[in-house]
Amino acid sequence: MENKKSSKIELSAIDAEKLSSKEGLKAILSREPYNIEKALRYVNYLNKLEELQVELIRLQTWAIEHNERIIILFEGRDAAGKGGAIRRITERINPRHMRIVALPKPTEEQETQWYFQRYVEQFPKAGELVLFDRSWYNRAVVEPVNDFCSEQEYKIFMKQVNGFEKMILQSGIRLVKIYMSISKKEQQKRFDDIKNDPLKQWKMTRVDERAQELWDDYTVYKKKMFKKTNTELSPWKVIRANRKTEARIECIEHILDSIPYDKNTEI
């Protein structure tokens, strides 16, 4: 009789303890067929996330005590996981010293103003952390791809943006730029999930509907954006985001590495 490889998974005492926790049991029972390895990865993710969230509280405490002003902006293709990453970053910190900014389409009045003005109005005060779920970089990629701005407006933006960010940094504001990158196949999968979930269907916009069709156009403008704006003074951090949990961890680690907070700050 042919020997079959054993499908049993040998667990260490530590791993067994993790899986017997409330989070571990929930991870095991939430999916069928049961997958012990995936459940263990998820519990490890939750433990790592909690550890990093403690450091985010420490960072914020330091920022409040030293009147620091911090901007973290998130860019990336539609459904890249920007919102999910922002939620994990902010869910444990003090909401009185933090804001999430996701600006709608500009009003007629705002369209007559300097392009950067409505973003400047959202900048942090002393001791505050502001997270932009999309930012002034709309004009670098989304707007030209979808014909929401003229070629001249795009060119003016590209000429001004590095100087704009230099002024931000010279004013004492700390700026962290994160780009979340996913594959075309993964984006389509996430769009399908959104369309089939009545609790998420509101997320789909007209721009999202055309994202797959315009994939290559987005790629062209994304490359132009990186070539122009990935500067030594204000660099981009690209996060590979096909795996949401890994991307969230990497985002938080990058933020903690980018801001020289005192790791001995008491919380």
Render pLDDT for 58-79 as a digit per residue (tens, 0 to 9): 999 999 999 999 999 999 999 9
Number of H helices, E strands in the chain: 12, 5
Q: What pLDDT band is residue 200 in, cutting at 50, 70 and 90?
A: very high
Residue 205 covered by a domain: yes
- Could you tell me which residue, 26 or 109, shows the higher pLDDT? 109
Alpha-carbon span 27 to 19, nearest angstrom: 8
**Domain interval for residue 239:** 67-258
Tell me the helix, strand and coil percentages in the chain, rounded to 5. Answer: 55, 10, 35
Residue 143 covered by a domain: yes
Confirm if 60 and 94 have CB atoms less than 8 A apart.
yes
Q: What pLDDT band is residue 149 in, cutting at 50, 70 and 90?
A: very high
Task: Indicate the number of domains in the chain.
Answer: 1
pTM higher than 0.75, yes or no? Answer: yes
Return the pLDDT at 6: 38
> Which residues are CB-neighbours of 151 under 8 A, at least 6 positions away?
144
Residue 208 covered by a domain: yes
Say which CATH number the domain at 236 has. Answer: 3.40.50.300
Measured from the Cβ of residue 20, the count of other Cβ atoms closer than 10 Å reads: 10
Q: How far is CA 146 from CA 118, 140, 190, 210, in A?
A: 21, 11, 21, 9
Q: What are phi and psi of 70, to 5 degrees?
A: -130, 130
Q: What pLDDT band is residue 39 in, cutting at 50, 70 and 90?
A: confident
Alpha-carbon span 19 to 10, nearest angstrom: 13
Residue 138 covered by a domain: yes
Q: What pLDDT band is residue 34 in, cutting at 50, 70 and 90?
A: low
The β-bridge partners of 177 are: 73, 236
Question: Hunting for tokens 């001249």 — which residue is that?
Answer: 152
Residue 79 covered by a domain: yes
Residue 113 covered by a domain: yes
Residue 251 covered by a domain: yes
- Structure-block tokens of residue 133: 């779920």
Q: What are phi and psi of 147, to 5 degrees?
A: 60, 35
Return the pLDDT at 101: 98
